[in-house]
Structure 1
Amino acid sequence: MKHFPKSLQQKIEQRKANNALRQLPVANDLIDFASNDYIGFAKNEILFHDTHQFLLDKNIKVNGATGSRLLSGNHSLYNEAEDYIAQFHKTEAALIFNSGYDANVGFFSSVPQRNDIILYDELCHASIRDGIQMSNAKSYKFSHNDLEDLERLLQKLITYNSELITVYIVTESVFSMDGDCPNMEELTNLSEKHGAYLVVDEAHALGVFGECGQGLVQSLGLQDKVFARIMTFGKGMGCHGAAILGSQELKSYLVNFARSFVYTTGLSPHSVATILQSYKHLTKGKEALEQLKANIIFFNQEKMRLGMKPMFVYSKSAIQCAIIPGNENVKKIANQLQQKGFDVRPIVSPTVPEGQERLRFCLHSYNSESEISNVLELLATFVF
């Protein structure tokens, strides 16, 4: 076998020098402040057994989809799940993708056309940015959650482009590395004012916001003002996959032109059944969601009590981030917390900008108040 290419080895060595080399973590039994399993669905035994029984009741004993959904892989559970999801989210249609990454890449690489314009929040997820890079449309970023900067761009670009163009505004309802949210009411008003199409990634809002975890957009009653919502199931829903919500025309377009949908094997019946059962569990009981909301409030109260509010990014979501600059510094503090039994992970550059390194606390319905108090008190001793 040939030696590993020098150019690639140099990139690895550079990561090591910056204390930023990524490695796969080892499973642990620490108190969970790291996973995206916000309401405990990933480890919910009732949900697990309900999915199994649902498949048995339908006499479905198949391990795989067998092919692309456009060939042999569009099994009956897809239609049932997509209809249920569309009804749950009060939209015309839903189209399931294999992952949130696939959904974003598929949408942004195919929907915006050559003469279109994409305006995206500078902190949008890598999957959105990758999809935009694959698009033929022109793209411009606006300052994070800064609607004045967004409107400045809108006025400038629409003025300079006399031809009829389509403008897409792209944001997230909860930003994964900050946990903060845009002002959705003002954003929808701004998009309507300029005739733009609003696209919202709700990956970290599904299962967290709304009476039944419908997401931030729907909790505010704004679903009819958004062109497309991307719902990812690997976070609050505790399973895998994603769906793009929108009109029937959008669904038909994606089925025809989204390459990450067309050219891939579909999800297995078991995966789709788990998605469907997860949605049904959202409507069955609200205890986990209510407990999560209580834990978010308590976490914010505790960081104020301990005088730690200034070091945290403002957030009312399940993601709470303490800014601790420097890869080495933030890794050191994360390791100290882990040694005390708390699974808190550092987010280092280049995932976030240099100087914005942070500890990311993911809150869950199953975290106790004592766990929240203890981990924040420990953090206070390490940083003060």
Structure 2
Amino acid sequence: MIEQNLSIADKLAERLVNRRQSGLLRQLRTADHLTDFCSNDYLGFARSAALKARIQEAERLNTGTQNGATGSRLLAGQTALADHVEQELAQFYQTESSLIFNSGYDANLGLLACLPQAGDTLITDELIHASMIDGARLSYAHRLRFRHNDLYDLQSKLQQATGDGQSGQVFVAVESVYSMDGDQAPLAELVDLCERYGAALLVDEAHATGVYGPNGEGLVAALGLTNQVLARVHTFGKALGVHGAVVVGPAVLLDYLINFARPFIYTTALPPHSLLAIQCAHQHLSISGEDRQQLHNRISYFRQQAASILPETNWTASQSPIQCLIVPGNEQARQVAEEAQRADFDVRAILSPTVPSGQERLRICIHLFNSFDEIDRLIAVLQTALTHTVRL
């Protein structure tokens, strides 16, 4: 119990002590010396010398005079460069229009907060990202959740939202590749259900961008569903190795966001350097088809080797770079991760309440730059660590 006569600093310190004692204290730390099986840099763009050189050349050729954005896009921050990059992104993502946000968090927050209105219904998969959850909380729409990737449960929620006396618009929000499980949404079936019930589908493509599609346009494009999804969010801080995000969709949607999405309206725009980096990363992505195939080869190899340690039931059903080993219990999951780190592998534990109790895990990310030998050695370390710390 926090005493009433404590200072605000003492109260904050006590809350941190409680978090530390529960084993849930978050801290910032570097891991530059460890072999990366943790980051979202799936294609290695964040460490690419070729991409860095491309960005530096673009900056050299840029005729603009400003280094900073100087204001929001609706004030001093709008530039011809921003317009040009958005036109290129719309073409790349096979859509009518695009609008750049400062981050994927901002994009999801703005989209879900302003699009569904009072009287509307927003139906979300129970495992959507925190940014989508926070956007949904800010919306005045009625909110329903459906069990993860459960089409029957979604259909029942759609029937509830469109039944007698219901006149508002219905929105369904999902991720194409889920950040904590690495599994894919059944997008084709979701599109069919949404069309049947007149619902608009919103898809966060954060972990699919760069990894799926003919040129890395994401899973929606890979499945040929671009015209059946109202809005897609593509982020650039993962496989593209830079920063920022974009919402793509019909022009009327983007005009709407310019007028009603508060994280866009009231945020200083990205500077020219960031816009050029986004442009260069997409140019680099367009010539990386063989790299994407090599990445998927490494994912398949990891899954084959991992099956030799534990049955598939101990791994999430993922064909993506995100591979998750379920190690129930916060302390057990933490111990396995720490043993991997002592062996020079950057592997992190994901603990409850970030994931449900009993679903604690090691979230292992496979990258293009991870060698097959590194994968073999990580598998061996995990096998030893599991023997030492848990009984599954």
Same fold (TM over 0.5): yes
Pairing 1:99–2:103 present:
yes
Amino acid at match of 1:381: T
Within 5 Å, give how 1:37-76 maps onto structure 2: 37-76=41-80
Report the counterpart of residue 3 of structure 2 in structure 1: none
Pairing 1:209–2:212 present:
yes
Note the C-alpha offset of 1:121.
0.5
Identity of aligned residues (%): 45
Aligned match for 2:31, one of 27, 33, 53: 27
Report the counterpart of residue 167 of structure 1 in structure 2: 170
CA distance in 2, matches of 1:11, 1:204: 33
Q: 1:203, 1:231 within 8 Å by CA — same for their partners in 2? A: yes
Q: 1:213, 1:282 within 8 Å by CA — same for their partners in 2? A: yes
Pairing 1:357–2:360 present:
yes
CA distance in 2, matches of 1:48, 1:4: 45
CA distance in 2, matches of 1:279, 1:79: 16
After TM superposition, the structure 1 stretch with the greater mean CA deviation from structure 2, 109-118 or 208-217, is 208-217
Q: 1:30, 1:343 within 8 Å by CA — same for their partners in 2? A: yes
Q: 2:213, 2:219 within 8 Å by CA — same for their partners in 1? A: yes
Deviations 1:334-359 (A, max 9, x none): 11001111110111112111221110
Q: 2:31, 2:346 within 8 Å by CA — same for their partners in 1? A: no
CA distance in 1, matches of 2:94, 2:244: 20
Report the counterpart of residue 263 of structure 2 in structure 1: 260
Q: 1:308, 1:380 within 8 Å by CA — same for their partners in 2? A: no
Report the counterpart of residue 320 of structure 1 in structure 2: 323
After TM superposition, the structure 1 stretch with the greater mean CA deviation from structure 2, 356-365 or 48-57, is 48-57
After TM superposition, the structure 1 stretch with the greater mean CA deviation from structure 2, 276-285 or 58-67, is 58-67
Deviations 1:265-306 (A, max 9, x none): 000100010001100111123232121111111111111233
Report the counterpart of residue 278 of structure 2 in structure 1: 275
Please give the secondary structure, in 1, of the residue aligned with 2:162. Answer: helix
CA distance in 1, matches of 2:62, 2:28: 38
Please give the secondary structure, in 2, of the residue aligned with 1:171. Answer: strand
CA distance in 2, matches of 1:229, 1:174: 12
Note the C-alpha offset of 1:374.
1.2
Aligned match for 1:119, one of 95, 101, 123: 123
Aligned length: 382
Report the counterpart of residue 349 of structure 2 in structure 1: 346
Pairing 1:330–2:343 present:
no
CA distance in 2, matches of 1:368, 1:349: 31
Aligned match for 2:18, one of 14, 27, 30: 14
CA distance in 1, matches of 2:19, 2:154: 34
Report the counterpart of residue 223 of structure 2 in structure 1: 220
Note the C-alpha offset of 1:61.
4.9
Report the counterpart of residue 79 of structure 1 in structure 2: 83
Amino acid at match of 1:318: P
Deviations 1:111-155 (A, max 9, x none): 110000000000100000001111110101110111100001111
Please give the secondary structure, in 2, of the residue aligned with 1:305. Answer: coil
CA distance in 2, matches of 1:71, 1:343: 43
CA distance in 1, matches of 2:55, 2:83: 17
Aligned match for 1:240, one of 240, 243, 246: 243
Please give the secondary structure, in 1, of the residue aligned with 2:325. Answer: strand
Amino acid at match of 1:105: L
CA distance in 2, matches of 1:46, 1:67: 31
CA distance in 1, matches of 2:33, 2:352: 27
Give ranges in structure 2 of 5+ residues lacking alignment. Answer: 1-5, 388-392
Note the C-alpha offset of 1:6.
4.9
CA distance in 2, matches of 1:308, 1:40: 30
Report the counterpart of residue 151 of structure 2 in structure 1: 147
TM-score normalised by L of structure 2 = 0.95
Q: 2:69, 2:272 within 8 Å by CA — same for their partners in 1? A: yes
CA distance in 2, matches of 1:188, 1:317: 21
TM-score normalised by L of structure 1 = 0.97
Amino acid at match of 1:41: F
Q: 1:108, 1:135 within 8 Å by CA — same for their partners in 2? A: yes
Q: 2:41, 2:240 within 8 Å by CA — same for their partners in 1? A: yes
Q: 1:55, 1:61 within 8 Å by CA — same for their partners in 2? A: no
Deviations 1:128-187 (A, max 9, x none): 000111111010111011110000111123215x14210000100011011011111111
CA distance in 2, matches of 1:27, 1:4: 33
Note the C-alpha offset of 1:7.
4.5
Note the C-alpha offset of 1:27.
3.5
CA distance in 1, matches of 2:376, 2:7: 51
After TM superposition, the structure 1 stretch with the greater mean CA deviation from structure 2, 338-347 or 284-293, is 284-293
CA distance in 1, matches of 2:109, 2:148: 21
Q: 2:202, 2:232 within 8 Å by CA — same for their partners in 1? A: yes
Aligned match for 2:196, one of 183, 186, 193: 193
Pairing 1:130–2:134 present:
yes
Note the C-alpha offset of 1:80.
1.2
CA distance in 2, matches of 1:227, 1:9: 45
Note the C-alpha offset of 1:26.
2.2
Deviations 1:188-216 (A, max 9, x none): 10100100000000000001111221111
Amino acid at match of 2:142: K
